[in-house]
Structure 1
Amino acid sequence: MCLPAWQQPLNRASAASAFPQATENRKVNSMSITIHTAALAHIDPAESIAFYRDALGFEVRGDVGSGTMRWVTVGNPDQPDVSILLAPPATDPGVTEEERRMISEMMAKGTYGWILLSTDDLEAAFERAVSAGAEVVQEPVDQPYGARDCAFRDPAGNLVRIQQKR
């Protein structure tokens, strides 16, 4: 199978020649791109709101739609320019029934979506999430790659990892 050039794996030498500005860590045209919103799927918007508000301490910034066709935006009150959009899965009319079934199965297994968060106090964040009833996947642990983190599943099955800030 022939992949387009932008999807082909690059070794460091070819990456440096193909994308010199990226390897030099420079801004292009004085442009700065930042993260505004990350999206995760939800099954039950009320359960998702309770998890992100009560277990993680996020604020609800937006809530539109009704029933399971609700789009909810949440985020850290101290980080107003970055949000998580909790959206119903597979609402695009181009998604087939087979694809919807596959997405539902992946969500049930917890393999569809994930996010990595960070905190100054991992132990307190873990205790807050446990107290709020979060499904624990991994208690706080020192990872072999140097990070200390823990993991939960949100009500839709998304993996939520929380890492101790260094």
Structure 2
Amino acid sequence: MPTINLTAVYVDDQAKALAFYTDVLGFVKKTDVPVGEYRWLTVVSPDQPEGVELLLEPDAHPAARTYKQALVADGIPFTSFAVADAQAVHEELTARGARIVQPPTEMGPVTTLIVDDTCGNLIQLTQMA
């Protein structure tokens, strides 16, 4: 059976995205290879350096930009990451200057918070009960 080894988030600026996903969210850079005008740029969880990679994919295709804008306009996160303690993460992200779109909110068996990734996306962080 297949396993997930790579997923992507479309970003409007790879350098800015790398700063957000590492300095604010705490991921670590895994791969950084020049590919013409852009880079094959991935980050991973520091707890799982050989785990699933998140590709910081340029949103150069017009459909990607339109898709991202529609999601943000409707308040829909582009993707979701798991956290152990949503309230603690909220406090850490606020201290790091992140723009919180939705503070920790209980939703049945999960608590979610939503943050602006500074690159055109809303990102949901989810704590399972």
Normalising to structure 2: TM-score of the pair? Answer: 0.82
Q: Which has the higher contact order (CA 8 A, sep 6+)?
A: 2
Q: Decide which of 22, 46, 52 is 2:15's aligned counterpart.
A: 46
Give the superposition deviation at 1:104: 2.7
Question: 2: CA distance between counterparts of 1:43 and 1:129?
Answer: 21
Report the more deviating stretch, 117-126 or 106-115: 106-115
Gaps of 5+ in 1: 1-31, 92-99
- Which one has the largest radius of gyration? 1
Counterpart contact for 2:104–2:112, Cα < 8 Å: yes
Gaps of 5+ in 2: none
Percentage of matched positions with identical amino acids: 32
* Secondary structure at 1:48 match in 2: helix
Q: Decide which of 79, 86, 99 is 2:56's aligned counterpart.
A: 86
Question: 2: CA distance between counterparts of 1:119 and 1:86?
Answer: 20
Counterpart contact for 2:86–2:104, Cα < 8 Å: yes
Question: 2: CA distance between counterparts of 1:156 and 1:67?
Answer: 20
Q: Decide which of 105, 109, 113 is 1:150's aligned counterpart.
A: 113
1:36/1:160 CA distance change after superposition, 3 Å: same
1:38/1:122 CA distance change after superposition, 3 Å: same
Normalized per residue, the structure richer in strand is 2
Normalising to structure 1: TM-score of the pair? Answer: 0.65
Aligned length: 125
The CA RMSD measured in Å over matched residues stands at 2.4
Question: 2: CA distance between counterparts of 1:162 and 1:81?
Answer: 18
